[in-house]
Structure 1
Amino acid sequence: MLEGPDRVGKSTQVEQLAHLLRQRGRSVLVSREPGGDALGEAIRTMVLASHLDPWTEIFLFLAGRARHLDEVIEPALAHGELVLLDRYTPSTLVYQGAELGDEVVAELCSLPVFRTPELTIILDRELPLAELEASDRFESTGLAGWQVRRSRYLSFSHRFGWTTVSGEGSEEEVVLRLLDVLTAAGIIE
């Protein structure tokens, strides 16, 4: 699973990584959260376009996650596919935890219905790759809000033992770092 603040190249790197792994003969499923299936995409659209109270928002996201796991991720894993996710629990901790409290959100995310990924990678950069657009309320906080979220990702990475990978450099350099991490973790050869 690849995580990190907006505009650090997560989506690009997930696609690059999937492409390289498929070239090596691996069966790979790429998905994202929130989203990943029709219900998840509907929840994503609704939450991003609305100003819901924080409790409604987190329960919608977690309902989407439970469905995504049941309908998409678990079947792919059962068929031997490698699942690459663009966002998962760390984003919930960073975004919803900031509003509702880190401990309560961590508890909700650790309910037995949710799977813990084999590997969580935080993609980190000093600054976003592109201008933050006010396309949704999460990006509308500008660079100051982005820096706060980056700091939260790094703090959680340390707390939970996630792997942090530099997103600095070319797309090719970053994807090679990611391949090295997957190899070191024994996920690929």
Structure 2
Amino acid sequence: MASSGVRGSLVVIEGPDRVGKSTQVARLARRLEEEGRAVKVSREPGGDQVGEALRTVILETQLDPWTELLLFLAGRARHLAEVVEPALRGGELVLLDRYTPSTLVYQGAMLGDVVVGELTSLPVFLLPNVTVILDCVNPLAAFDDADRFERRGLRAWEERRSRYLSFARQFGWIVVSGDGPEQAVTDRLLAVLSSRGMLG
């Protein structure tokens, strides 16, 4: 279990829609908890009552790009302060489904990589200990017509995938294949955490 006074770790699991991020975050959490680790699972947008309300607005409303970006960033600042930071101070390993990479990929494509990169690098936003991009050759499931991002279809998905991989090369994020059986993918992710000294 977490030791008093030991700061936890922030692990971000990222990638385009329909590559199994949420499934793998849940599987990782179970495995880590079985090993006695204190784990906090959260997501963006979301993570608390305010974040979930923002999530509904962002995903279900057609917003102009600047409003969308600023809502994402406001939700992130609150989420870090109210959910992530307390868990880290308590020594927990935080598994976060989406973070800065999504903002760079989605909002950067609309507003420009430089300005979005500058805003996501403000001191209020924590740097993760590990950022993993879960990558698949093709989406693992059909897109959700209720999600305005997924409604843009396969071509948009491929463009986002390309941007994730490009940023991974630029920033040194770890790319892990999401193809194959779920257990195999989980084992790949556990191997990444093990290589960073987060297991055992």
TM-score bin, normalised by smaller chain: over 0.9
Q: 1:128 aligns with which of 139, 142, 163?
A: 139
Distance in 1 between residues matched to 2:158 and 2:142, nearest whole Å: 13
Indicate conservation of the 8 Å contact 2:40/2:92, yes or no. yes
Counterpart in 2 of 1:106? 117
Counterpart in 2 of 1:22? 33
Gaps of 5+ in 1: none
Counterpart in 2 of 1:69? 80
Distance in 2 between residues matched to 1:124 and 1:158, nearest whole Å: 13
C-alpha RMSD over aligned residues:
0.6
Following superposition, the deviation at residue 61 of structure 1 comes to: 0.6
Counterpart in 2 of 1:140? 151
- TM-score norm. by structure 2 comes to 0.93
Q: Residue type of the partner of 1:186? A: G
Q: Secondary structure at the match of 1:120?
A: strand
Following superposition, the deviation at residue 143 of structure 1 comes to: 0.7
Distance in 1 between residues matched to 2:56 and 2:151, nearest whole Å: 16
Q: Residue type of the partner of 2:138? A: L
Q: 1:174 aligns with which of 185, 188, 191?
A: 185
Following superposition, the deviation at residue 48 of structure 1 comes to: 1.0
Deviations for 1:127-179, whole angstroms, at most 9, x for unmatched residues?
A: 01011132211001111110000000000000000000000110000000000
Counterpart in 1 of 2:197? 186
Q: Which runs of 4+ in 1 moved over 4 A?
A: none
Q: Residue type of the partner of 1:68? A: H
- TM-score norm. by structure 1 comes to 0.99
Counterpart in 2 of 1:158? 169
Distance in 1 between residues matched to 2:173 and 2:131, nearest whole Å: 5
Q: Residue type of the partner of 2:127? A: T
Matches within 5 A, 1:77-116: 77-116=88-127
Distance in 1 between residues matched to 2:139 and 2:177, nearest whole Å: 12
Q: Secondary structure at the match of 1:85?
A: strand
Gaps of 5+ in 2: 1-11
Distance in 2 between residues matched to 1:94 and 1:147, nearest whole Å: 12
Distance in 2 between residues matched to 1:129 and 1:52, nearest whole Å: 28
Is 1:149–2:160 an aligned residue pair? Answer: yes
Counterpart in 2 of 1:45? 56
